[in-house]
Amino acid sequence: MLNFTIRRLLFTIPTLLFISFVIFFILDAAPSDPTGNLPLTIPPDVREKIRESLGLDQPMIIRYLLWCKQFFVNEPLNLLAQWGINIGDPDRLRVISFQTRSPVVDLIAQRMPQTLWVVGMSYVVGVLIALPIGIISAVKQYSWFDQMGTFISMIGFSVPTFFTGVLMIVIFSVWLGWFPSIYDTTLVVDSWRTLGLQIRQMAMPVFVLALFNAAQISRFMRASMLDNLNQDYVRTARAKGLRERTVLLVHVLRNSLIPVITVIALGVPQVFGGAIITEQVFKVNGLGQLLIIAIQGGDIPTVQTLTFIFAVLIVLFNLIADILYGILDPRIRYD
């Protein structure tokens, strides 16, 4: 197992390098211009100077290598410096965003908490709702509960979040006035009152995203349970005289969870990617919103760095899913 993990980890290095190059190449080929959104009153020759000052007059390969140096060498060294370990010249050039002229990694660090709170929480809530629904739907197949569950997951699946989000704002913020429609990222939770505010402002985005996540996972859970319920070992367990509760929760559930856990693990990188649209609708200034603003502004270093970090997470969580599979399912051995 350890061998397998190390082998896979080593293999990810060329994969990620390749991915970073592809991202850079695509971004470079895309017709985006960091001066494109500036007012037309800024004349073209000034725009040309701005592009030069951003280093855009350099050939693509030079810019790519520069980014690699900044991201793979300077940023980790800078992180070490923050922990008190100084190596080399402390005046290193970090990955600087075109729009804000500040280090991209700092921007990401600033936004990570919002995304983890809102999108992460919605994932947890979604999973907690989805598992019982999936289990009950499978056990009581074609009952009214199953039909309801199917109906709700279809809604969660097919109605886009930009619609449910705005609908909820209109109902709960405009008509009822229960929740704020705009997320306050500067809120510091240090008392019961602020905790209440935090819960109120998180309620709507978490619910909207949880509905979406739950819809997907509950369908997986249900299908996996149904697969297992018809297996011979279930009949054996029942024939042994085990209680139905034990059969379902110990035997069937544990076996059914294996594929579901893979699905859940593979979904985790999406949490970090944020939910671009939902963050935009509720003005949660998280990673997804950072990405969309950077794309609109032609801020190539930010887009490149964010996309690459997402790629790293996807590769990592694929690996984690594979390893979990080996641990959970004794039939699967990698060595």
Partner 1 sequence: MKLKSLLLGAAASLALASAAQAGRGDSGHLNIIYWQAASIMNPYLSGGTKDVDASSMVLEPLAHYDENGNMVPVLAADIPTVNNGGVSKDLTSITWKLKPGLKWSDGSAVTAKDVVFTANYCMDETGGCQQLAKFADVTKVEALDDLTVKITFGKPKPFPYGPFVGSTTPVIQARQFADCKGIKAPTCTEANFNPIGTGPFKVDEFRANDTITLSANQNFRDPDKPAFATVTFKGGGDAASAARSVLETGEFDYAWNLQIAPEILAQMEAKGKGKILAGFGPLVERLMVNLTDPNPKWGDERSTVKHPHPFLSDKAVRKALSMAIDRTTLVEVGYGKAGRVTCNVLPSPAIYNSTANDSCKVQDIAGANKLLDQAGWKRGPDGVRQKNGVRLSILYQTSTNAVRQDFQALIKDWWRQIGVETELKNIDAAVFFGGDQSSPDTFQKFFADIEMYANNFDGTDPEAYMGSWKCSEIPSPENAWLGANMPRYCNPAYDKLVAEMAGTADINKRAELAKAMNDMLMQDYVIIPLVWRGNVAARANTLAGVRLNVWDSDLWNIADWSREK
Nearest distance from C-beta of residue 196 to partner 1, angstroms: 15
Nearest distance from C-beta of residue 200 to partner 1, angstroms: 12
Cβ nearer to partner 1, comparing 56 with 315: 56
Q: Write the DSSP string, 146-176.
A: HHHHHHHHHHHHHS-HHHHHHHHIIIIIIIS
Contacts of 47 (CB under 8 A, 6+ apart): 35, 38
Nearest distance from C-beta of residue 160 to partner 1, angstroms: 15
DSSP state of 325: H
By CB under 8 A, name the binding residues for partner 1: 31-33, 35-50, 52-54, 93, 96-97, 99-103, 106-107, 110-111, 169, 173-174, 177, 180-182, 184-186, 188, 190, 280-281, 283, 285, 289-290, 293, 296-298
Distance (Å, rounded) from C-alpha 8 to C-alpha 2?
10
Nearest-10 Cα torsion for 3, 5, 8, 9: -110
Tokens of 197: 């505010």
Q: If we measure between CA atoms, which residue out of 324, 229, 226, 260 comes closest to residue 131?
A: 260
Cβ nearer to partner 1, comparing 40 with 85: 40
Cβ nearer to partner 1, comparing 272 with 282: 282
Cβ nearer to partner 1, comparing 217 with 281: 281
CB 126 within 8 A of CB 213: yes
Cβ nearer to partner 1, comparing 43 with 84: 43
Cβ nearer to partner 1, comparing 107 with 260: 107
CB 173 within 8 A of CB 181: yes
Cβ nearer to partner 1, comparing 34 with 134: 34
Nearest distance from C-beta of residue 180 to partner 1, angstroms: 6
Nearest distance from C-beta of residue 285 to partner 1, angstroms: 4
Nearest distance from C-beta of residue 117 to partner 1, angstroms: 14
Contacts of 71 (CB under 8 A, 6+ apart): 20, 95, 305, 308
Contacts of 116 (CB under 8 A, 6+ apart): 271, 272
